[in-house]
A and B are shown apart, each in its own frame.
Chain A
């Protein structure tokens, strides 16, 4: 029994460096990895030796990876690498005890390793959640082994040292939570409030950021500092727009206006093509994709803001600068609505001007016809509206200096009783 426990201990909490050398990772590759992690964490290079030392000594924490309403894109992103050693190191940072997409066992055997980890490593393992959690109808839209997603999350994340929500779906609900979704999908933070949680949003999140979060934990024994949305600042502290290589063209006023036009060929800013870089906080331009090969804006497509909450709805239309105006149809722009409002007011104003002119003329006529009948006092004079405004200006402007001016008395005092009903009825 004691022997068995010791073996399990070995599997669950093996040293990082021991695991790496067992796999045949060279010292050089290990140091390269540590350097990449230092820059991913936006730390000065003098931190590299500290990270190296920490990873050499660290025990490998256990990890369980849960998938709910997802596309496994974040699993892909975490494991993908054109350079196999990088993926090996990421895999060997932790003891991956449960991950449906990649694990060998299935069925009850798989569920057993999940259960074993939760009981043996309570409070010490890391829970990673991928995909959103449906809450509608008691969570029936996603069940695994007969248990609902919310039920599993409560148990697995509740007993973990910390939870990392990978991808925008797990962090904020993402695509299953977009308009039209019926499953009541939410992110982990909304499903189980109060968890120790890191949101690695983006669609998908970048595997380098997951590795960097884990390295930060192993090195500094605490999770990285986060923003208001629980996203680590090293990955989500800055806007895409503030690190974009096309930014000089933005400031210069040089914009792509059509796919493939001259500006597009010259690498100008994609703002007018709907780039949401100004609205998105992510280290996409620095970390990039496929081992730093390139990133979306680098290849000439605007950012769609995948790292922001509700990006599917909030950043739509992806190829326009501003969102559509709610209630005006998907193709209506803010500019069209705004100009429409201004034009409507102008048209109403013009119509009112015509009406006022007619009223003036009628009044002048009726006055001339009945000038000696007793009528209620009329304020001001009945000048025809067709007279010009400049006509009225000299009344004060021209003679202001010749007049002594008096500060007028307040026209109304609130406490005075005023009765007005008869007067109103007497109006012509």
Chain B
């Protein structure tokens, strides 16, 4: 049974739900009018429903990744360009050693988090699954085009989605490819001092094939690409949240999105029905 989360005035909701002949645009206009008088937190009179979208493993891996990326970027940058120096007797200092230790331990946590998230793409709920990332269906492909048009100002609204929009999904595939490259180059560099063992066996051949310096260069560049992604990621999350008022930003903490019934209907709607409008 679905319990509907109600906000704003009752009549408007009933209208929206029961009487499709009334344009949603009208209630929209009412919103805009009422917004002028009401405090901003109580704006909005649409019918909203809260959906549990991001399950716990998705949120945990997301925040683990955030933490790891921050720690790995700071320590990694220090390893590439040691910007803090110590003074005095070398035997009583271990700054670079400590930074590298933190980098390596965090790298293992990050690797586990990424591997688990990839596994969860095949085991998690609908919105954690691989089909959210690879636009395999016609609807996802269509919405991919719509999202691109939205971003390039050729379309007014982003397509209605419950989970990831297809463009974001594709971006995350690219991001995880970067993660994979970062993990592989990182472990290859980590294997350098070893003569045998699993590190040497698993990653030593990459060092021979690519060369240490190229690995270091690629590893550094990818760090900056991930930072660039993060800038865009935070921006687009805020942007879409402002478009949808869905609590998208907080959903990665709570797992819940607040969506209008109309939004949900549209996200699930058949393109055919829409054409009749």
* B18 in the interface (beta carbon within 8 A): no
Is A418 a contact partner of B29 (Cβ separation < 8 A)? no
Given contacts A337-B224, A379-B157, A393-B250, contact A418 B91 (CB under 8 A): no
Is B125 a contact partner of A414 (Cβ separation < 8 A)? no
Contacts of A405 in B (CB 8 A): 50-52, 256
Would you give the shortest CB distance from B262 to chain A, in whole angstroms? 7
Given contacts A412-B137, A427-B155, contact A334 B86 (CB under 8 A): no
Interface string of B136-171 (1 = CB under 8 A from A): 111110100010000101011111111100000000
Is A423 a contact partner of B258 (Cβ separation < 8 A)? no
* B19 in the interface (beta carbon within 8 A): no
Contacts of B40 in A (CB 8 A): 387, 391
Interface string of B226-267 (1 = CB under 8 A from A): 011101100100110111111111110110111010111011
Closest to A345 in B: B228
Is B253 a contact partner of A309 (Cβ separation < 8 A)? no
Would you give the shortest CB distance from B16 to chain A, in whole angstroms? 11
Given contacts A254-B93, A321-B81, A391-B41, contact A345 B231 (CB under 8 A): yes
Contacts of A241 in B (CB 8 A): 193
Cross-interface CB contact of B267 among A233, A367, A383, A411, cutoff 8 Å: A411
Is A411 a contact partner of B3 (Cβ separation < 8 A)? no
* B268 in the interface (beta carbon within 8 A): yes
CA distance A379 to B5 in the complex (A): 18
Would you give the shortest CB distance from B142 to chain A, in whole angstroms? 5
Name the interface residues of A334-364: CB closer than 8 Å to any CB of B.
334-335, 337-339, 341-342, 344-346, 349, 352-353, 355-356, 359, 363-364
Is A342 a contact partner of B227 (Cβ separation < 8 A)? yes
Given contacts A387-B40, A395-B246, A396-B247, contact A334 B213 (CB under 8 A): no
Contacts of B277 in A (CB 8 A): 376-377, 423, 426
Contacts of B271 in A (CB 8 A): 418-420, 423
Cross-interface CB contact of B126 among A372, A408, A423, cutoff 8 Å: A408
Which of B62-70, B107-115, B204-212 forms contacts with chain A? B204-212
Contacts of B3 in A (CB 8 A): 403-404, 406
Is B96 a contact partner of A393 (Cβ separation < 8 A)? no
Is A392 a contact partner of B213 (Cβ separation < 8 A)? no
Interface residues in B, total, Cβ within 8 A: 114
Contacts of B241 in A (CB 8 A): 389, 392
* A416 in the interface (beta carbon within 8 A): yes
CA distance A337 to B151 in the complex (A): 25
Would you give the shortest CB distance from B7 to chain A, in whole angstroms? 8
Cross-interface CB contact of B250 among A309, A335, A397, A406, cutoff 8 Å: A397
> Which residues of B line the A interface, CB within 8 A?
1-3, 5, 23-26, 28-29, 31-32, 40-41, 43-44, 46, 48-53, 80-82, 84-87, 90-91, 93-97, 99, 125-127, 131, 136-140, 142, 146, 151, 153, 155-163, 192-193, 195, 204-205, 208, 211-214, 216-217, 220-221, 223-225, 227-229, 231-232, 235, 238-239, 241-251, 253-254, 256-258, 260, 262-264, 266-268, 270-272, 274-275, 277
9 A-B interface contacts by CB (under 8 A): A248-B91, A253-B84, A342-B227, A359-B153, A395-B246, A403-B256, A407-B125, A408-B264, A428-B156
